[in-house]
Chains A and B, each alone.
Chain A
Amino acid sequence: MSVRHQVSDELLLDYASGSLSEGWRIAVASHLALCPQSRRRLAVMELTAGALIEEEQPESSTADDDDAWSAMRTRLAAGGGALSGGVDTPRPVSRDAIVLPEPLRSYAGGDVGSLKWRPLGRGAYHILIPTADKSTSVRLLRIPAGKPVPEHGHGGRELTLVLSGSFNDGGEVFARGDLEEADETLEHQPVATPGEDCICLAVTDAPLKFRSWLVRLVQPVLGI
């Protein structure tokens, strides 16, 4: 299994610099858990940041540095610096069994089977994932095989991470680990691939979005 749709450089840079807010961050971190290639690109960005740190010309004086070092020595002498042990070894568990990777699983409160899915109508379900980030709404969607995702057109940015099954969007197939980035310029109608329900994580700006697509949902069938 190889992830075909990786996170963009600009979004990954926001993650690497620490400027991404919680809602988006859940989607990007969960994608990174599933995509070694994207993690390699993250490592290059962190290497770049390290090189920028090396090139810094700090303004501090020798006296400042001596003070700082003696403060550190005092803390260490007071026993503040217990060393961490060696590297943890991964737990030997079948990785196919789990649908939601960390950090998403902790946010959701368990894996997909143990969660309380709420019906959206027409066979679709969702779960709202609580976060402290008021600028985004984060939800899991479960779209029945062969059926369209109940949306769309975007008020702002939208990230969709596929966790199980796949969907087809304008001829492109997104499968487990693939991340789709959409903005207000995109009008699309993702359709779950026949054969298996599609579970995905969707992060959008503005909680208002939800209302509009609930309204759409109760509208007559769109003809797909």
Chain B
Amino acid sequence: MEDGDRSETEEGDMARLLAAVGRDASMEAFEVVFRNYAPRIRSYMMRLVRDPQMAEELMQETMMTVWRKAALFDAEKGNVSAWIFTIARNLRTDSFRRTRRADFDPNDPAFVPDPEQPADAAFEAREAEARLHEAMKGLPAEQRDLLHLAFFEEVSHSEIASRLALPLGTVKSRIRLAFGKLRSALGERP
């Protein structure tokens, strides 16, 4: 990246470090991953649970899962931050709802698999990462705020509408606009 885009450099490093954790159970590599993500995941947890001790426990549980599942992370196609987000989100939802978390299962015989990935998927994943960050910077504040509310406060789009005193239709169209832009920045159908 031209002027040393910090997060992009980190993302590539994180993918290599996580691969070392998965391959060699490397404590040195894990410490770097931990020190980068632990504070971020703690603050993600704090926003919803609002209890420092519980947030700390959920963060520890998230990072423990990262350690245990590191070998399952696909450094070629995956994105470390997105992968850790999904682990944190699932733990947070599971701790809040006593109900089971309905999820699809890629090993289910009824699952319709993805079409074959192109051979240069690793390069594309890094490219996509950079382009997504650029596109996110270009989003209007109202659309960024909405993404923050959705992911960090875990509120549904109808709750967002009532919190911001906006018509539901406005919230829906902002969501569609934001992801339309992000998808087209990634070269996908908006």
Taking CB as reference atom, which chain B residue is nearest A81? B67
By DSSP majority rule, is chain A's interface helix, strand, loop, or mixed? helix
Asked if A46 and B108 make an inter-chain contact with CB atoms under 8 angstroms apart, the answer reads no
Chain B positions within 8 Å of A82 at CB level:
68
Chain B 55-90 interface residues, beta-carbon cutoff 8 Å to A: 56, 59-60, 63-64, 67-72, 79-86, 88-90
Asked if A81 and B81 make an inter-chain contact with CB atoms under 8 angstroms apart, the answer reads no
Q: Residue B186 contacts which of A17, A25, A44, A64 (CB distance < 8 angstroms)?
A: A44
Asked if B34 and A69 make an inter-chain contact with CB atoms under 8 angstroms apart, the answer reads yes
Q: How far is the CA of A98 from the CA of B22 in the complex (A)?
A: 34
By DSSP majority rule, is chain B's interface helix, strand, loop, or mixed? helix
Chain B 16-74 interface residues, beta-carbon cutoff 8 Å to A: 22, 25, 27, 31, 34-35, 37-44, 56, 59-60, 63-64, 67-72
Interface residues of A, Cβ cutoff 8 Å to B:
1, 8-11, 13-14, 16-22, 25-26, 29-30, 32-36, 39-41, 43-56, 58-60, 64-65, 68-69, 71-73, 75-76, 80-88, 90-91, 93-95, 97-103, 105, 107, 131-133, 177
Chain B 99-116 interface residues, beta-carbon cutoff 8 Å to A: 99-115
Asked if A107 and B102 make an inter-chain contact with CB atoms under 8 angstroms apart, the answer reads yes
Chain B positions within 8 Å of A80 at CB level:
64
Asked if A90 and B156 make an inter-chain contact with CB atoms under 8 angstroms apart, the answer reads no
Given A25-B102, A54-B40, A103-B104, CB of A41 within 8 Å of CB of B183: yes
Chain A positions within 8 Å of B98 at CB level:
132
